[in-house]
Amino acid sequence: MALKITLPDASVKEYDNPVSPLQVAEDISRRLADAAVAAEVNGNLVDLNSEINDDASLVIHTFSNPVGKEIYWHSTAHLMAQAVKQLFPEVKVTIGPAIEQGFYYDFDRAEPFSDEELVLIENRMKELSSQNLPYSRKELSKQEAMEMFSNLQEDYKLELIEAIPDGDIISTYTQGDFIDLCRGPHLPDTGRIKAVKLLKTSGAYWRGDEHNKMLKRIYGISFPTNKELNEYIQMLEEAKKRDHRKLGKDLDLFSIDDEVGAGLVLWHPNGALMRHLIEQYWKDEHLKNGYKFVCSPHIGRSNLWHTSGHLGYYHENMYSPMDIEGQEYYIKPMNCPFHIAIYKTTLHSYRELPIRLAELGTVYRYERSGVLHGLMRVRGFTQDDAHIICTAEQVNDEVEKLLEFSMSVLKHFGFENFQIYLSTMPSNPVGEVKDWEMATVSLRSSLEKLNIPYEVDEGGGAFYGPKIDIKIKDALNRSWQCTTIQFDFNLPQRFNMEYIGADNHSHKPYMIHRAIFGSLERFFGTLLEYHAGNMPLWLCPIQVMVMPITDVQIDYAKDINQQFTKNGIRAEVDLRSEKIGYKIREAEMRKIPYMCIIGKKEFEDTSVTLRRHTIGDLGSMSLQEALDKMESELQ
């Protein structure tokens, strides 16, 4: 009886005997068989050399898709563990998953791995790869697995096995002299790992718990070709140049001081001016779009946080309370309860809705010191927060407006590529299912009406409502979390929010939380990395630097500087007696967008010579022409 294998393009291959996914791949093409990483048989991921005994659907995964990458990188983690065990037999192995970019493995070892040791490990991995060792799977009982890893004295593996329910099948994978506990699947052999780079080391607690032992983690990445690895390394170097922490220092924008405290940002004059410009734009746009501003305090009584529920489910992210006249107060991790308190000071009629309350509200959340990262993960930050309170009939309109508004704000900062996710109802929702459905339909139909491509994160919503997340994609293909538009069926209930409807009865309003930037700090960091520090002209602290070539032109240069200032351009004049080449180089380093050079010729025919950072010389022109050029860029 023939065995039918159905491929993703719906074509069918027939076999007389059991067949492996690898054989099927070979029958399709040599190329596919060489590129294959693992297979999916009837939706289950399996090794390429596993056996298919019955009719089945088959997908062959290669490195070019996310599933293939994950298996490829995870298999490389096994290879790294093998190399480490060969070089340092006393080390105990723990776990080694794939991550978004590459993989890591955590080892129990007293001292950290040095850079020299990383090179040794990498070289050993290359040797082991060239030996083309098959990854072979073996299934065994829990008892057998316990014995095996106890003989190997791999205590961490024993702990993992103990947690597996009795009767479950346990599998190990062996390549050469190395055996690891693993569900699989893996590459068929180490030979498919052609290019490897170990990237960095760090400490990590066993199972992420700070009460456990600190392990030594090695991160790495691998590719099927050297070309891909080299491209990746180039991308990393470019990312290093764009690192917002480096740019923040080079351009004197902000700092984080150990004396002040980790995760707490100090904004320097240049950075604070840019932040002011962002806030000013934000405020103007919100007024134009029907928002009302509110301001709320930084701390609130424990009662408030009990009512909101934050002391229950959000407690771990909040700081310890402070005692004020015998009452407990908490520094706010969120602005929502205050906005709700403002809403509740009067009774609202349906005629007043929608009400859109907005605030640049600074909040404080506890983040572990290990995860703090420049402006991206901090302990104190300002949300560009707003709460839309509306009736059921207004929901569609409000969501659509929110999306349009968010996109137009983001585009103003030069962002062009977005990744948009719609997250739907999780398994433990609060609120009524019909509300969830209505809100989800509204989010979905607004995205579709506005022709915005999106992906669905099924079940990925918070317990209190569905949401849309907008991420920004940069030139290096990295994505940055930004806007959130989030329904809330929890807080209106907890705070007993209401409005009087046309029927003269009290109704519960709909509430949407939204932040366009997310946090000003993270948004600012994203802007820096996205533009590699070359910010849009309207955001630059100094827009033009006027530079006289010799002392003879000083007065004329000062006059030009004044003319720029009068016309609303942020200008400065460089009066130092440095060579013009030096002044230009320095202005370029500071990423000042325009340089206005004044020499003998410009002085004589009352012109200026303009230079644009990242473009170069723009030639000589009248002051008015220079102003027009800048004006048109500012539009």
Give catalytic residue positions.
Answer: 336, 365, 383, 385, 387, 467, 513
For residue 331, the minimal CB distance to Zn ion (Å) is 16
For residue 488, the minimal CB distance to Zn ion (Å) is 7
- Which letter does DSSP use for residue 552 in this model? G
Instruction: Considering the complex, state which of residue 157 and residue 591 has its C-beta at the smaller distance from Zn ion.
Output: 157
Instruction: Considering the complex, state which of residue 253 and residue 386 has its C-beta at the smaller distance from Zn ion.
Output: 386
Do 506 and 499 meet the contact criterion of CB atoms below 8 Å apart? yes
Partners of 317 in beta bridges: none
| Cβ-Cβ contacts under 8 Å for 99 (sequence gap 6 or more) | 73, 219
Do 297 and 339 meet the contact criterion of CB atoms below 8 Å apart? no
Nearest alpha-carbon partner for 512 in 482, 484, 485: 485
Three state DSSP letters for 593-608: CEEEEECHHHHHCCCE
Nearest alpha-carbon partner for 369 in 461, 297, 277, 263: 263
SS3 256: strand
The tokens for 506 are 């009290």
SS3 415: coil
For residue 341, the minimal CB distance to Zn ion (Å) is 12
Return the biggest CA–CA distance within the chain.
Answer: 98
The contact set with Zn ion (CB under 5 A) reads 182, 336, 513
Instruction: Considering the complex, state which of residue 82 and residue 201 has its C-beta at the smaller distance from Zn ion.
Output: 82
Residue 193 Cα distances to 64, 66, 69, 235, 281, angstroms: 14, 16, 11, 20, 50
Nearest alpha-carbon partner for 199 in 226, 221, 170: 221
Q: Which residue has the tokens 């993960």?
A: 377
Instruction: Considering the complex, state which of residue 172 and residue 543 has its C-beta at the smaller distance from Zn ion.
Output: 172
For residue 173, the minimal CB distance to Zn ion (Å) is 6
Instruction: Considering the complex, state which of residue 182 and residue 353 has its C-beta at the smaller distance from Zn ion.
Output: 182
**Torsion-angle region of residue 477: left (phi > 0), alpha (psi -120 to 50) or beta?**
left
For residue 383, the minimal CB distance to Zn ion (Å) is 8
Q: How far apart are CA 251 and CA 254, in angstroms?
A: 9
For residue 406, the minimal CB distance to Zn ion (Å) is 15
Instruction: Considering the complex, state which of residue 518 and residue 541 has its C-beta at the smaller distance from Zn ion.
Output: 518
For residue 602, the minimal CB distance to Zn ion (Å) is 55
Instruction: Considering the complex, state which of residue 334 and residue 407 has its C-beta at the smaller distance from Zn ion.
Output: 334
- Which letter does DSSP use for residue 428 in this model? S
